[in-house]
Amino acid sequence: MRITRVSSRALAALGPTAALAAGLLLGPAVAPAVADSTPSASPSGDGSAPTEAGTSFRTATEIDQGRTATASGSAGDYLYWSFPADSGQRPTVKATVKLPKSHTAQTWQVDVYDGLRRRQACQYGAQTRTAAPGTASVELACVLRTVRAWSEPWANDPLPGTYYVRLTALGLTAADLGLPVGAELRVDSADIGGSAAVDGSLAQPLVPGIAVTSGGKKDDSSASAVLSSTEPDDGWSSGWWSDRWVWTAIGAVLAALAGIGGYTLTRGQGRPRHVPPGA
């Protein structure tokens, strides 16, 4: 997010009152903007990280952002994980595959899908890599686009909800099929902030299984039905608030102060008093 800098000369030109008002407004707004640019890497929850992966979308292992999940499997298996992503976040998926000592060249790939199981493109990162024979491990990465609070129905933009990660090997030879492998997966997000804000929000995040599994008793009509229980630590955002409102208010106040200062500098000294003829 771009941070607007106001020079001391500009504030001095507006006068001490304007400088004080701008300082009070800019002070609390700059600190969150700087803090939001760092990825969220603090573990959430007090449980241990998952040590297994699912084999399909329906059995995907749920993980929290900022935690490293591990799993053991065989070359040729499909490994699935799921994680929540909210509006304004730019998730980064990193996977490490530990290979056996003896193997031929293997190509591994990590794919990310949203709650509607639409494959999401990676902005950058090594999504597919080939490990040479005898390589101990291979590292993959996928940086997604920023999650939007709302999008057109025909668009393929990332939206708030559950995201799936699929890790697998491509084109394995018969000699490598079934060899034991280990996998590590970690998801972190950078908070992009108001620069990615849009005017709109989803009625509900894209969490699959809304009408499949009930979170309460069968006879409880008010129970919410969800298949995925993961969500951001502070809950799903409403989509209408962003720091763009803060910077818009700051711009309006500075514009008003600049107008007052310009009027003060350019106004005349007042009309001369009327002097009667012959006085």
pLDDT tens per residue across span 227-273: 556 777 767 775 456 666 777 788 899 999 999 988 888 876 555 56
| C-alpha separations of 115 from 25, 40, 95, 124, 160 in Å | 39, 22, 20, 21, 8
Q: Set out the domains of the chain in order of their start, with CATH numbers.
A: 1-35 (no CATH), 61-196 (2.60.120)
Question: Confidence class of residue 21 from pLDDT cuts 50, 70 and 90?
Answer: very low
Q: Is the pLDDT assigned to residue 218 strictly greater than 50?
A: no
Question: Confidence class of residue 133 from pLDDT cuts 50, 70 and 90?
Answer: very high
Sequential DSSP letters for 79-116? EEEEEEE-TTEEEEEEEEEEPPSS---EEEEEEEE-TT
Q: Are 135 and 146 in contact (CB under 8 A)?
A: no
pLDDT tens per residue across span 180-205: 999 999 999 988 866 666 766 777 88
Helix then strand then coil, in percent of the chain rounded to 5, is: 20, 25, 55
Question: Confidence class of residue 55 from pLDDT cuts 50, 70 and 90?
Answer: very high
Sole residue written with tokens 């749920």: 62
Question: Confidence class of residue 71 from pLDDT cuts 50, 70 and 90?
Answer: very high
The structure's pTM equals 0.67
